[in-house]
């Protein structure tokens, strides 16, 4: 779950903001229950992509706060990423599309504010390792999946 992100923090955050806005526009234009990714992964609807990012934003925020408090690297779950995504998809089906969007946006706002508040030293030692869910890479990955499926 951790990946060290290289580059200028402000530039990375601007790129992440742009990728998030682009992803939200794509998700908002889609029906909440129509699969957006590969046909072999039907759970990736706009509702589920939003709840997925709510969980990622919240998890990364927790990891950063935990590391700030303990000074120790955060220990993520041992669950396989696909297993975790499947489990969460089953749980998150009860969340309305509107609530899924709202919690994703709110959790991203909290996550972004936390990363922006880190000192340069904290960002270098902690923020870069927990930044993929904010700094654009993860958002662009889902945009690429959605584009590939629509061209498929």
- 76-108 pLDDT, tens digit per residue, is 777 777 787 788 877 888 899 999 999 999 999
Given this model, what pLDDT does residue 4 score?
62
pLDDT of 6 higher than 70: yes
Residue with structure tokens 């526009």? 25
pLDDT of 1 higher than 70: no
Residues in the chain: 152
What average pLDDT score do residues 134-144 get?
88
- Residues of the chain above pLDDT 90, percent: 53
User: Two tokens at 91?
Assistant: 């749980």
Given this model, what pLDDT does residue 115 score?
94
pLDDT of 20 higher than 90: yes
Give per-residue burial for 22-55: e unless 16+ CB within 10 Å, then b. ebbebbeebebeebbbeeebebbbbbbbbbbbbb
DSSP structural state of residue 4: P
pLDDT of 68 higher than 90: yes
pLDDT of 110 higher than 90: yes
């Amino acid at each position: 779950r951790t990946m060290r992100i290289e580059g200028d923090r402000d530039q990375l955050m601007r790129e992440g903001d742009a990728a998030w806005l682009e992803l939200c526009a794509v998700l908002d234009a889609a029906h909440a229950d129509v699969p957006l990714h590969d046909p072999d992964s039907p759970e990736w609807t706009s509702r589920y992509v939003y709840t997925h990012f709510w969980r990622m934003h919240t998890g990364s925020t927790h990891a950063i706060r935990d590391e700030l408090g303990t000074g120790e690297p955060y220990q993520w779950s041992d669950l396989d990423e696909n297993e975790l995504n499947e489990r969460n998809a089953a749980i998150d089906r009860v969340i309305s599309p509107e609530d899924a969007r709202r919690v994703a946006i709110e959790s991203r706002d909290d996550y972004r504010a936390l990363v922006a508040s880190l000192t340069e030293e904290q960002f270098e030692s902690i923020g870069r390792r927990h930044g993929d869910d904010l700094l654009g890479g993860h958002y662009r990955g889902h945009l690429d999946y959605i584009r590939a499926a629509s061209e498929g």
